[in-house]
Structure formats: structure tokens, C-alpha cells
Amino acid sequence: MLEQTNDSYRSLPGRFYSLLDPTPVASPRIIRFNQGLAAELGLASLANAPDAALFSGNELPVGSQPLAMAYAGHQFGQFVPQLGDGRAILLGEATDRQGRSRDVQLKGSGPTPYSRGGDGRAALGPVLREYLVSEAMHALGIPTTRALAAVSTGEPVYREGALPGAILTRVASSHVRVGTFQYFAARGEQPAVAQLADWVIQRHYPDCAEADQPLLALLEAIQERQASLVAGWMLVGFIHGVMNTDNMAVSGETIDYGPCAFMDRYDPRTVFSSIDRNGRYAYINQPPIAQWNLARLAETLLPLLPMDQEQAVAEATAVIEGFPNRFQHHWMAGMERKLGLLETRPDDGRLAHDLLDVMHADGADYTLTFRQLSELAQNMVEDSGAAWPGPPPSQALEDWLQRWRDRVVAGDLAQRAQLMKSSNPAVIPRNHQVERALEAAIREQDFGPFERLVAVLAAPFDDADQWMEFTQPPEPTEQVYQTFCGT
Ligand code: AMP
Ligand code: MG
């Protein structure tokens, strides 16, 4: 099932990981298996009878030589020289239908040499949350690790009290993080940093091998994918919550769904995570934090650049300083789609920012406002004077809508409406819905709400008339203000 591929992480020296097997669990049971992803990975033979023993680590797939990866990282700005997979084990790599290698990893599979006193386990709630949110992100078109299976272990894990244990099978295009580079750089192991960079180039950025300065090209390529990724987050109102350098994958996929959440009301300073006391990872801080993390990556490469250090710093700095422009480019392109602006004009940025300001002042729901705007565009195809489809708009929104109408009335409205509908989701994993599904699963072993949420989140841009409850913001009493890491 998982053969050794030629870009296997196992081909790197032993310092990069620890070889070990998952710790067996009492009575594994499949909660959910992702048939579509299994087919993508060429594991279709498993789809009919997914094996709980396999996705709990009780049995190993043929050809598997499991390992836990070493990494370091800046956590809330503080450098921790040794982190690593404390509760995850890489089973191996599968080759997907497109011929790309994809890591298959168990999360919650028992202690490793990197557990630092932790139990190596995961509770059911966070496993289901990661399943829901990562698959929702994929359906929204945002690069992400995927969820192949969720298994209950039949064993308790002890956090504030006893909770049911579970294991997630995570699929990623790789698990190398900014913190993986930092791990070796902090030890002064430059040859290992160089080997890691070569591996990452081979796996993710083969074009960089041909560049004059492959490492600078790699830095720039990683930056480009991060700029695009974080723009994608911002456009759907996603807040990662723990953008530590160990939680930033160099592949450009969203990774590590801990206290993440989607914003309901638009407020740029929104923070959900209970551990983010100073709002370091607030919604609006995500782009500058991504840039800060990339600067930490750049530092690990400096000693390897074939030039004097002063010039190396200057060149790497020039790359990092390009982040805001790259981010802005992706964000604006996405905003134009959300607003149905088929042709770029100089005042587009103003139009977009002014809408956000109105939403902020009105306390409007981010997702619903954009979806209603798409609906308005659709209705305007028949009747250019169509009214706002929601409750009566504020004066500020009314004024803004007039500017937007003037802007979009010329040109192909039907095409605009279609673009908007496919760019503004009707459903996102709203926190109150996610919490409700998790509660039912944890307290009553009722997986119905979880299954319904998985189903509706798989097609977020469809008209969700039969799923009305999932398109609506929380009532004041349903509002969730805080999320927890769940480790
Ligand atoms: P996270 O906050 O999930 O990104 O994890 C930060 C670090 O803590 C990583 O090295 C994890 O592997 C480790 N960790 C988190 N939870 C556990 C756990 N239950 N047991 C052992 N290590 C853990
Ligand atoms: Mg992590």
C-alpha cells in the first residue's frame, strides 16, 4: 500500500527522524473514512472495507517503515529548539493519481521521542474538528492537508477530565515545516539544512533546481505559495490560530488545525484561540505573521548562500520584503472575484476595503454578506433594480451598494453573478455548528450531526436551501468566542 518512493523522507539521514511504530490501542473502530481521497491516492481497494486496525496503527500497511519527524519552531515568538512529531507517526508515502508523493500520517498514535511528557494521544473532539475543517478548506479550494480517516480508539485520554480517544489519518504533500529547517540551523548543522532544502526542491519546487541561486529561488517560491495561501484564508474569514513556525508547511498547505475557526461577524481583530492572549495570531495579523515566519526560514538559509554574509542578508531581505506585494496581489484578485469585478480598475481596492469597513461598523456576518451580494447580482440579471436579499441594509451599506451597482451594471451581469457564486461560499464550518456536531459525538456517540456537516461542507458553493441552518450565523446565545488547542 505504501511503497518507498524515491523522494521518501526515509532517504534522508537518521538525524531527521526517529524510527518507531505506533502504539496499539484497545478497540479501534472506524468513525469516518474518506472514500474520495482514498480513490485519489489509489487506495480504492480499501474503500469498501476500511480497516480500523490499519488506521489506528494496530497493524502496519505493507511496506511501511513508520517514523516521527524532528523539528523545532518559534511558538508565539519564542524559539523552542526541539519539538518534533510528539503524537504523530508517518506511515509512509502514497503516490496519488497525478503521480505526486503524499505523506500518510497517523495523528494521536502514541508517544514518540519528541513527546516531551505528552501522552502522544488525541481526543475525539479535536480529531473530528480537524476532519471537518480540513476537508471544508479543500472544498473551498484552499491548499490543505487532508483527512483520510477518523478512528475511535476505545481508550480514554485525560485532559481536563477523561475524554474518548481517537486517531486521525492525515494526508499531506509533505510535513516539512519552517521549523524543520530551524531544527538543523539552530544546531549549526548546515549540511543537513542543505540536504533538507534539496529534498524540498525535489518534492515541491523542482524548477528551483535550475535557478542561478536555487536557495533564493526556493525561498521566493515558498513565499509565493504562502502569500497565496494566507490570501485564501483571509478571503474566507479563516483564522488559523497558531501560526507558529512549526505549523507552517513549506509546501504551502494549511497544516495543524488546532484552535482554528472561521469568523462570523466581520472584525479584523478577531481571535478565537484561548492560548493566544495577546492576539498575536488575530485575523488581521496573519499576513505579517506569515512574512515573519518566512524571515525565520530565510535566516536558516543564509550561511548556505554562496556569497559573503552581508550580501546574503541583503538578497534574502529583498525576497522577504516582497511578501506584502505578493499577498496584496492574491488578495485583490480574490476580492475582485468575490465582488464580481471582471475588469480590474484602480479604485477596486477602495471599493473592497470600504465594504469591509461597512461590515465592521454594522457587525455584519462576513460570509453571509458576500453570499447575499452574489444573490443580489443574480437577481439583478432579471431586474437591475432588485432589492438587497437580506434584512433592510444600513444606510452605509445602502450607499456602498449604490457604488457597487454603478460599477457592475455595465458588462455581463450573468457572468459576474456566476463568478461571485463560485467565489462566495454559502456554507463554511461555522464554529457553533462544529461545536454542536462534536458535542453530540462526544456526549451521545451520535455522529449524525458530524456526518451532515461533512456532507454540506463538501459543496460549499451550492445553493443550500435544504441546509438553511448551516448558512446562518449563530444566534447570540449560540456564539462561540473561544476555541481550544485540544492537545
Ligand atoms: P501543536 O500545538 O499541536 O502544533 O503541537 C506543538 C508540539 O507539541 C508538537 O511537537 C506536538 O507534537 C506536541 N504535542 C502536542 N500534543 C501532544 C500530545 N498529546 N502528546 C505529545 N506531544 C504533543
Ligand atoms: Mg503543530
378 is a domain residue: yes
3 is a domain residue: no
306 is a domain residue: yes
CA dist., res. 23 & res. 112, Å (int): 9
pLDDT range class, residue 429, cuts 50, 70, 90: very high
Tell me: pLDDT of 368 over 90. yes
Give the ligand whose atoms come closest to the C-alpha of residue 82.
1
What interhelical angle do 413-421 and 366-382 show, nearest 10? Answer: 150
How far apart are the CA of 257 and the centre of ligand 1, in A?
Answer: 12
2 is a domain residue: no
CA dist., res. 404 & res. 43, Å (int): 48
Quote the DSSP letter at residue 244.
-
How far apart are the CA of 219 and the centre of ligand 2, in A?
Answer: 21
Atom of ligand 1 nearest to the CA of 247: 4
Other C-beta atoms closer than 10 Å to the C-beta of 166 total 31
Structure confidence at residue 16 (pLDDT): 98
How far apart are the CA of 456 and the centre of ligand 1, in A?
Answer: 30
Residue nearest to atom 14 of ligand 1 (CA): 86
H or E element at residue 178: helix 178-186
How far apart are the CA of 19 and the centre of ligand 2, in A?
Answer: 19
Testing ligand 1's pocket by substitution, the residue of 75, 79, 89, 115 carrying the most ligand atoms inside 8 A of its CB is 115
Tell me: pLDDT of 92 over 90. yes
Structure confidence at residue 411 (pLDDT): 85
Read off the pLDDT of each residue in 77-103 and give the average, rounded to a whole number. Answer: 96
Structure confidence at residue 164 (pLDDT): 97
Q: What is the pLDDT of residues 202-259, one digit of tens each?
A: 999 999 999 999 999 999 999 999 999 999 999 999 999 999 999 999 999 999 999 9
How far apart are the CA of 114 and the centre of ligand 1, in A?
Answer: 9
Beta carbons of 300 and 320 less than 8 angstroms apart: no
Atom of ligand 1 nearest to the CA of 122: 19
For ligand 1, whether the C-beta of 121 sits within 6 Å is: yes
Residue nearest to atom 15 of ligand 1 (CA): 487
144 is a domain residue: yes
pLDDT range class, residue 130, cuts 50, 70, 90: very high
Q: What is the pLDDT of residues 1-33, one digit of tens each?
A: 676 566 699 999 999 999 999 999 999 999 999
Tell me: pLDDT of 55 over 60. yes
**How far lies 33's CA from each of 132, 388, 445, 458, in Å?**
12, 41, 17, 14
Structure confidence at residue 35 (pLDDT): 95
Residues 398 and 468 occupy one common structural domain: no
Residues 69 and 190 occupy one common structural domain: no
CA dist., res. 330 & res. 336, Å (int): 10
Residues 162 and 183 occupy one common structural domain: no
Per the residue annotation, which of 85, 246, 256, 365 is the catalytic one? 246
Read off the pLDDT of each residue in 85-95 and give the average, rounded to a whole number. Answer: 96
Tell me: pLDDT of 480 over 90. no
Residue nearest to atom 13 of ligand 1 (CA): 86
Residues 49 and 194 occupy one common structural domain: no
For ligand 1, whether the C-beta of 83 sits within 6 Å is: yes
Give the ligand whose atoms come closest to the C-alpha of residue 69.
1
Residues 231 and 207 occupy one common structural domain: yes
For ligand 1, whether the C-beta of 84 sits within 6 Å is: yes
Domain boundary among 297, 331, 365: 331
Structure confidence at residue 464 (pLDDT): 74
How far apart are the CA of 333 and the centre of ligand 1, in A?
Answer: 36
Task: Give Cα 379 distance to the centre of its chain.
Answer: 33
Structure confidence at residue 377 (pLDDT): 98
Altogether, the residues listed in the chain come to a count of 487
Q: What is the pLDDT of residues 379-393, one digit of tens each?
A: 999 999 999 999 999
CA dist., res. 14 & res. 271, Å (int): 39
Residues 169 and 37 occupy one common structural domain: yes
Structure confidence at residue 48 (pLDDT): 72
Other C-beta atoms closer than 10 Å to the C-beta of 145 total 27
Read off the pLDDT of each residue in 26-51 and give the average, rounded to a whole number. Answer: 89
Tell me: pLDDT of 415 over 60. yes
Q: What is the pLDDT of residues 280-318, one digit of tens each?
A: 999 999 999 999 999 999 999 999 999 999 999 999 999
Residues 318 and 392 occupy one common structural domain: no
Residues 349 and 385 occupy one common structural domain: yes
Structure confidence at residue 322 (pLDDT): 98
Give the ligand whose atoms come closest to the C-alpha of residue 86.
1
Task: Give Cα 317 distance to the centre of its chain.
Answer: 26
How far apart are the CA of 315 and the centre of ligand 2, in A?
Answer: 30
Residue nearest to atom 22 of ligand 1 (CA): 86
For ligand 1, whether the C-beta of 253 sits within 6 Å is: no
Structure confidence at residue 484 (pLDDT): 79
For ligand 1, whether the C-beta of 86 sits within 6 Å is: yes
Give the ligand whose atoms come closest to the C-alpha of residue 485.
1
The residue with greater pLDDT, 478 or 466, is: 478
SS3 of residue 315 by DSSP: helix
Structure confidence at residue 158 (pLDDT): 97
How far apart are the CA of 447 and the centre of ligand 2, in A?
Answer: 26
Task: Name the domain count of the chain.
Answer: 4
Q: What is the pLDDT of residues 133-170, one digit of tens each?
A: 999 999 999 999 999 999 999 999 999 899 999 999 99
Active site residue 276: no
DSSP-assigned beta bridge partners for residue 90 = 67, 105
Give the ligand whose atoms come closest to the C-alpha of residue 111.
1
Atom of ligand 1 nearest to the CA of 244: 4
For ligand 1, whether the C-beta of 485 sits within 6 Å is: yes
Atom of ligand 1 nearest to the CA of 246: 4
Average pLDDT value for the chain: 95
Residues 326 and 223 occupy one common structural domain: yes
484 is a domain residue: no
For ligand 1, whether the C-beta of 242 sits within 6 Å is: yes
Atom of ligand 1 nearest to the CA of 108: 19
Domain boundary among 299, 331, 363: 331
Structure confidence at residue 3 (pLDDT): 62
pLDDT range class, residue 479, cuts 50, 70, 90: confident
**Domain of 398?**
341-421
pLDDT range class, residue 469, cuts 50, 70, 90: confident
For ligand 1, whether the C-beta of 260 sits within 6 Å is: no
C-alpha cell at 167: 486517531
Tell me: pLDDT of 487 over 60. no
Residues 374 and 394 occupy one common structural domain: yes
For ligand 1, whether the C-beta of 35 sits within 6 Å is: no
C-alpha cell at 284: 488581521
pLDDT range class, residue 467, cuts 50, 70, 90: confident
Atom of ligand 1 nearest to the CA of 121: 19
CA dist., res. 423 & res. 264, Å (int): 17
483 is a domain residue: no
Residues 321 and 380 occupy one common structural domain: no
- The percent of residues in the chain predicted with pLDDT above 90, rounded, is 91
Tell me: pLDDT of 187 over 90. yes
Least confident span in 61-70, 195-204, 244-253, 426-435: 61-70
Domain boundary among 270, 298, 331: 331
Half-sphere exposure of 414 (CA within 13 A, CB side): 1
Residues 63 and 162 occupy one common structural domain: yes
